[in-house]
Amino acid sequence: MDIKRVGIVGCGVMGSGIAQLCSQTGYDVLVSDINDELLNKGLLSLDRSLTKRIEKRKLSQQDKDTILSHIHGTTNIKDFHRCDVMIEAVFENLDVKRKIFAELDAVCHQHAILATNTGSLSVIDMAKATKRMDKVLGLHFFNPPQVMRLVELVKTIATSNESAEIGREFAVSLGKTVVIAPDVPGFLANRLMAPLGLNAIRMLEAGLATKEDIDTAAKLGANMPMGPLERADLIGLDIILQGNEAMYQEYKDHMYAPPILLKRMVAAGWLGRKTGKGFYEYDKETES
């Protein structure tokens, strides 16, 4: 299939980042959110991201203008009728995602691929809200999607080989390395990384070391680019909690059980960079 137009539902951190990635690769992009305020906030964040690249001399003003010219916003899901690939990138709530997939199924042309960016939820549970289960798959990007090289392509038991290949070629066209993941909670990467991240939180909770020393040990001892507590702040502690709760419910393995400290921090609204406070404190203006 000749992919020209990409639609993205959700203009938050991941949605706006995926929109930027697709546009700078040459695709026409239509991105939506539930209201004008959230849509404009996401588009402003995208604009700032490009401006930072100009300041770092990784992008020219002309390049920025070209990228932005290929991105359009909407609050009407019916506008996605001409898109060839749809990527849902809203928060991790299965009921919300199922509703979105049902709506997309009704408005998108019959050959369109419908993908979700979920990192933990069942893709087949979203697919069954449609009449095209063979064309539904997962395209799990990592934060920030403009930088992180990996995409997990989640192939459900109903996803056709043809649809999976279209999804793989699309991700490769974005400059990504693709791994094929099963439709199980955590897929591959999060299932590998979750125990390490949760153990870092348990170590901090038990007072075994400071957050700085835990992160330094991971970075210098395991050659990780970012410590597990720093990484949790970047992803969002609410996302970390949701993902691990899903894995724990499925596998009943204690290594995926969210620590009490994580639950309490989410309850307090300390979600990481996006709120200005997580395991570390941040300048929200700088992080936006």
**C-alpha to C-alpha distance for 222 and 239, rounded to whole angstroms:** 24
CA dist 184 → 98, 156, 216, 269 (Å) = 17, 9, 31, 28
The reply to whether 260 falls in a domain is: yes
What CATH number does the domain containing 194 carry? Answer: 1.10.1040.10
**C-alpha to C-alpha distance for 274 and 288, rounded to whole angstroms:** 7
**C-alpha to C-alpha distance for 61 and 124, rounded to whole angstroms:** 42
The reply to whether 160 falls in a domain is: yes
Residues 81, 166, single domain; the answer is yes
Residues 242, 171, single domain; the answer is no
**C-alpha to C-alpha distance for 186 and 16, rounded to whole angstroms:** 23
Residues 23, 155, single domain; the answer is yes
The reply to whether 287 falls in a domain is: no
The reply to whether 269 falls in a domain is: yes
Query: Which of 182, 212, 227 lies at the terminal end of a domain, its last residue?
Result: 182
What CATH number does the domain containing 50 carry? Answer: 3.40.50.720
Check residue 5 and give its pLDDT: 97
The reply to whether 286 falls in a domain is: no
Residues 92, 172, single domain; the answer is yes
**DSSP 3-state of 206:** coil
Residues 119, 232, single domain; the answer is no
Q: What is 210-278 written as a DSSP string? A: -HHHHHHHHHHHS--SS-HHHHHHHH-HHHHHHHHHHHHHHH--GGGSPPHHHHHHHHTT--BGGGTBS
Residues 248, 162, single domain; the answer is no
The reply to whether 200 falls in a domain is: yes
Residues 208, 266, single domain; the answer is yes
Tokens linked to 201: 């939180």
Residues 105, 177, single domain; the answer is yes
Query: Which of 182, 198, 215 lies at the terminal end of a domain, its last residue?
Result: 182
How many distinct structural domains can be found in the chain? 2
pLDDT in tens, the chain (288 residues): 789 999 999 999 899 999 999 999 999 999 999 999 999 999 998 999 899 999 999 889 999 999 999 999 999 999 999 999 999 999 888 999 999 999 999 999 999 999 999 988 999 999 999 999 999 999 999 988 988 999 999 999 999 999 999 999 999 999 999 999 999 988 999 999 999 999 999 999 999 999 999 999 999 999 999 999 999 999 899 989 988 998 999 899 999 999 999 999 999 999 999 999 999 999 865 454
**C-alpha to C-alpha distance for 137 and 129, rounded to whole angstroms:** 13
The reply to whether 271 falls in a domain is: yes
Residues 140, 23, single domain; the answer is yes
Query: Which of 158, 182, 206 lies at the terminal end of a domain, its last residue?
Result: 182
The reply to whether 235 falls in a domain is: yes
Check residue 143 and give its pLDDT: 85
- 147 C-beta neighbours (distance < 10 Å), count: 9
> Residue 234 is part of which domain span?
189-280
- Backbone angles phi and psi of 234, in degrees to 5: -70, -45
**C-alpha to C-alpha distance for 74 and 135, rounded to whole angstroms:** 24
Residues 226, 178, single domain; the answer is no
Residues 157, 85, single domain; the answer is yes
Which residue do the tokens 């798959």 mark?
A: 137
Residues 147, 215, single domain; the answer is no
Give the pairing of strands 150-155 and 136-141: antiparallel
Check residue 217 and give its pLDDT: 97
